[in-house]
Copies of this chain bind each other. A is one copy, B any other.
């Protein structure tokens, strides 16, 4: 096996470097340039059909961050981090939203929106067959975006803590999502580790490849 170089080396280093940050340094903030890169990773995340059935709520307001632990089982990362990103999924996929997506394709690719009728019908056919599982599906798309955000942060050496421990019923009202088409499904605190975060010292635990990879 040749030694990795260039992007490979950078990626491998980043994968080893990252960890779920338990304690953020409240005095350090992500620069506008770095945040722009992270936002690009979110915006360019893949999703089924390219539908992007999500909103990304980015909290940097100190006053609002102060209230977040009460909606996150008392965890302090949302309060102490620089940027707290809540990934919110569409509760359902309706014809109006699909039309908005088709119009966007038509605009970007300079094609008549009528040429996209088949795609629209395919999306609505699939999602209508899901019945009340549409949110489960849109939520899974958010997890792809979470993966994109976390790996991008690692490459840029920005610390992150993915957080499933959010209380949507408390968080949605704080974020103005109540009664909207979107609800919070998972979140990610981003910023810089506190010097006192002992979790940074823990060896990373992963199963051996032989235990999780099946080669056929």
Contact = CB atoms under 8 A, between A and B. Distances in A.
Interface of A: 1-2, 4, 7-8, 10-12, 15-16, 18, 20, 32-34, 36-37, 39-46, 48, 50, 52, 54-61, 64, 101, 104-105, 108-109, 136, 139-141, 143-148, 150-152, 155-157, 162, 164, 175-176, 186, 202-207, 209, 212-216
A58 B212 CA distance: 10
B61 A216 contact: yes
A203 B108 contact: yes
A216 B10 contact: no
Contacts of A43: 206-207, 209, 212-213
Contact of A139 (B32, B42, B140): B140
A109 B203 contact: yes
Contacts of A50: 20, 205-206
Contact of A214 (B176, B186, B216): B176
Contacts of A202: 109
B214 A58 contact: yes
A182 to B, nearest CB: 9
Contact of A44 (B16, B101, B141, B203): B16
Nearest to A56: B213
A12 B37 contact: yes
Nearest to A54: B212
